[in-house]
Amino acid sequence: MKHFPIFVAVEGRRITLSGGGAAALAKLRLLLKTEAHLTVFSDDPAPEIVAWAEAGKLQLIRRRAQAGDALCAVLAYGANEDAAEDARFAALARADGALVNIVDNLEDSQFITPAIVDRDPVTVAIGTEGAAPVLARAIKADLEDRLPTGLGRLARIGKAFRKHADRLPMGRKRRDFWSAFYFNDGPQAIDTGGDQGAEDALHALLDRHLTARPAAGRVAFVGAGPGDPELLTLKARKALDGADVVIHDRLVSPEVLELVRREADLISVGKEGFGPSVSQDEINALMVDHAANGAHVVRLKSGDPTVFGRLDEEMDACEAAGIAFTIVPGITAASAAVANVGQSMTRRGRNSDMRLLTGHDVAGFADHDWQALARPGTVAAIYMAKRGARFLQGRLMMHGAAGETPVTIVENASRADERILSTTLSDLAADLADAKLTGPAVLLYGLAPRAALAALPDTIFRTDIKEAAL
Ligand code: SAH
């Protein structure tokens, strides 16, 4: 982020603008929505500017700006449509201590004006750091359609009521009250009863909330999916929106964590599979303590929480403490990996079962029914296999698996840095060592990437498929 978005207090303060043509007009239309004192310097102002000055909406000074003209101004706009004059104005305004923007000149501006969706006091600012004004306009148009025009009125009525709502304890209770108003009772009441209706609804709602029994805390075990935030379920999105505390593993992607409600406590417990981290007992205690205090706890696990996630131990801890819980399933790494190599987990005539195995568990390399796995046509997704690849390879071949059995390694499945490596059982350990994987990886034993994938451009599938193996 090269520009940090903030909202500047301009009520009663001064904003100066130099220029009198089309660029000045466009900026002034926007600035007239503020409660700032506007001063315009122009020796040739457009008639609209003259009219605004006559109506007392701004102060017009019919000459070029001079040193000292921007003293006490918070913001200064160079809108002369003349590079030299804008540069002269920018220099003198900067010297006067104002923050300067030159219209259509990102380079020499100290701040930029975003595209704005105005539902005063709700204001949405959209910026693309000058990279894509078309995109900003499209987003603006979309939001203009989506945000009801009554939103501003509702927010203003709500604001005046804040003192009353402070009778509710801070945190979830107060938040529940406000979301019931803005998303439920408020819009209905304003439609039928106007501003007065909305005010009445606030009082009735507050009474209801003041007398309601305290909500109990609870835990939701939520699947964060393999990394791509678009692979979250709608239920997971909702849970992240409503969480007071989110306890997450290391494998949950930053893009997914971005979606957690800003006010929620975000606690990383650093777990990756069975790797070293905060101990399981400490995780259980964290979860249970927060929920016992009335918090909505989201225990966010990568992929699907029911797959290699020690879910049972955490459910047992909740049960022992009398805390209610729910499970929100997610897309497990194997599902994303299989999809991105263009294969199906099961296939008529090839495999009628599909195993999810771990290469490694708390006790070390995991043992399996090697004989069954070695049979031709077997398909398995092997999690946590980076360290155990040589062991797996040895065991499988010892039990008769063919060296040319395909194995596809999918690293960072569904993420921007996803890599797909195609190899065979006999080359697995060596190829895995060469690949120097740094991210989480799942092995698809018995599956090669669909041949057609190799022909697609990298930009679509981000593949790094070893051509020889195809
Ligand atoms: N509950 C998770 C698995 C946790 S165990 C799930 O359902 O996906 C951790 C292992 O999952 C990692 O060692 C790796 O094998 C696998 N894994 C998790 N995220 C992955 C990803 N984005 N790409 C590939 N493998 C992943």
Domains of the chain, start order? 14-113 (3.40.50.720), 158-211 (no CATH), 218-330 (3.40.1010.10), 334-455 (3.30.950.10)
pLDDT score of 273 = 54
Rounded to the nearest angstrom, the distance between the alpha carbon of 113 and the centre of ligand 1 is 43
271: annotated active-site residue: yes
Q: What whole-number distance in Å separates Cα of residue 432 and Cα of residue 409?
A: 8
In the predicted structure, residue 141 carries a pLDDT above the cut 60: yes
Element (H, E) at 455: none
- Judge if the beta carbon of residue 41 lies within 6 A of ligand 1: no
Full-prediction pTM beyond 0.75?
no
93 token code pair: 């305004």
Q: Residue 122 corresponds to which tokens in the numbers above?
A: 């709700």
Q: For strands 364-365 and 360-361, give the pairing.
A: antiparallel
pLDDT-derived band at 467 (thresholds 50, 70, 90) equals very low
**Overall size of the chain counted in residues:** 470
- Residue 284, judged by CB atoms within 10 A of its CB (0-12, 13-18, 19+), counts as buried
Sorted by sequence, the CB contacts under 8 Å of residue 26 that are 6+ apart come out as 79, 103
Q: What pLDDT is recorded for position 232?
A: 96
Q: Where residue 82 falls among pLDDT bands split at 50, 70, 90?
A: very high
Name the residue type at position 203: H
In short, whether 413's Cβ falls inside 6 Å of ligand 1 is: yes
469 pLDDT band, cuts 50/70/90, is: very low
**What is the pLDDT of the chain when averaged over all its residues?**
90
d(Cα 74, Cα 12) in Å, to the nearest integer?
Answer: 11
Please state, as a whole number, how many other Cβ atoms lie within 10 Å of the Cβ of residue 171: 12
Which residues in 173-190 are b (16+ Cβ under 10 Å) and which e? bbeebbeebeeebbbebb
pLDDT above 50 for 466? no
Res 191: pLDDT = 84
- Atom 15, ligand 1: which residue's CA is nearest? 383
CA distance 361 to 374: 21
Residues 14-39 have pLDDT tens digits of 999 999 999 999 999 999 999 999 99
pLDDT above 50 for 414: yes
Residue 282 pLDDT exceeds 60: yes
Q: Which class for 452: exposed (0-12), middle (13-18), buried (19 or more C-beta within 10 A)?
A: exposed
